[in-house]
Amino acid sequence: MIPYKTAAALVPSLAPLQATQAEVFDRIASDVVLSSSLWANVALAGFSILLFVAMGRSLQSERAKLIWVATLLVPLVSIASYVGLVSGLTVGVLTMPPGHPLAGQEVLQPWGRYLTWTLSTPMILLALGLLAGTDRAKLFTAVTMDVGMCVTGLAAALVTSSYLLRWVFFVISCAFFVAVLYVLLVEWPADAQAAGTSEIFGTLRNLTVVLWLGYPILWALGVEGFALLDVGVTSWGYSALDILAKYVFAFLLLRWVAANERSVGGADPLGGTTTMADD
């Protein structure tokens, strides 16, 4: 049992973590830059859901339908994620450790972002992998490395005991990211070539790689890292990247799949490079 005096001494440092949802909600609502960065995504995710449902309704083949559902899940996860942030449910108040530029200060930490990336980014990779006609082993590799990246990124954002260990988690997360980039840049282009989808795959792969590289850069420049950007600007940075990496990406992918269903229509969705034309 913690002696009474020790427990009492802990209270001041625990207090910020116990900020109520209502307090966090009010702090978000009173910061126009921060709250607009969240509401913009709630609105766009809602619009994307309706649009994507309409775009995929007439798809017939199993692989095309799987790409569609994976793509549709991106704004579905996103709307839940952003409502969680706006409500204060998935936003904490953290006291930064010594060494951090904001050491000792309480900062808002929208940690729900990292948690929900764990669900949305695998859907993006699943859709891209299916488009490239890849196999289960490569898809499994990309998805598990990606989940590792998101979970250790969450840890990097939440560690308050040591500034150094925040960066250790950051480096671990980057190592997972390198594995994802390897699959995207080396493995899948060859698969897409064999599947006859290399042109659209190349476009979406480039969009993905460039935008995804923006996330760790923003982490390093934002409140989580060197704190060169404030909470609202950091949040708009992530929201802007999300808009391009999720809704624009998904729209381009679905538009292509709807117009070229025969090119992605293999009987077994993960069975390599068979296309409808081979049947």
Binding site residues, ligand RET, CB under 6 A: 114, 117, 120-121, 149, 153, 156, 170, 173-174, 177, 212, 215-216, 219, 242, 245-246
**80-113 CB burial, b ≥16 within 10 A, e <16:** bbbbbbbbbebbbbbbbbeebebeeebbbbbbbb
Whether residue 110 contacts residue 28, with contact meaning beta carbons closer than 8 Å, is answered with no
CA dist., res. 246 & res. 75, Å (int): 7
For ligand RET, the closer CB: 77 or 264? 77
For ligand RET, the closer CB: 114 or 236? 114
For ligand RET, the closer CB: 19 or 168? 168
- Shortest separation between residue 130's beta carbon and ligand RET, angstroms: 17
Whether residue 128 contacts residue 146, with contact meaning beta carbons closer than 8 Å, is answered with no
- Shortest separation between residue 168's beta carbon and ligand RET, angstroms: 11
Whether residue 145 contacts residue 121, with contact meaning beta carbons closer than 8 Å, is answered with no
For ligand RET, the closer CB: 15 or 164? 164
Q: Which residue(s) pair with 277 in the sheet?
A: none
For ligand RET, the closer CB: 108 or 195? 108
- Shortest separation between residue 135's beta carbon and ligand RET, angstroms: 23
- Shortest separation between residue 41's beta carbon and ligand RET, angstroms: 10
Whether residue 240 contacts residue 41, with contact meaning beta carbons closer than 8 Å, is answered with no
- Shortest separation between residue 44's beta carbon and ligand RET, angstroms: 12
Q: How far is CA 95 from the centre of its chain?
A: 24
For ligand RET, the closer CB: 147 or 149? 149
Q: How far is CA 279 from the centre of its chain?
A: 37
For ligand RET, the closer CB: 95 or 121? 121
CA dist., res. 202 & res. 184, Å (int): 10
- Shortest separation between residue 134's beta carbon and ligand RET, angstroms: 19
CA dist., res. 215 & res. 209, Å (int): 11
In this structure, what token pair is assigned to residue 27? Answer: 């702090």
Tell me the CA end-to-end span of the chain in Å, nearest whole number.
69
- Shortest separation between residue 78's beta carbon and ligand RET, angstroms: 6
Helices (H), strands (E): how many in the chain? 11, 2
For ligand RET, the closer CB: 200 or 250? 250
Q: Determine the residue with CB nearest ligand RET.
A: 153
CA dist., res. 125 & res. 179, Å (int): 13
Give residue for tokens 């949305």: 120
- Shortest separation between residue 210's beta carbon and ligand RET, angstroms: 11
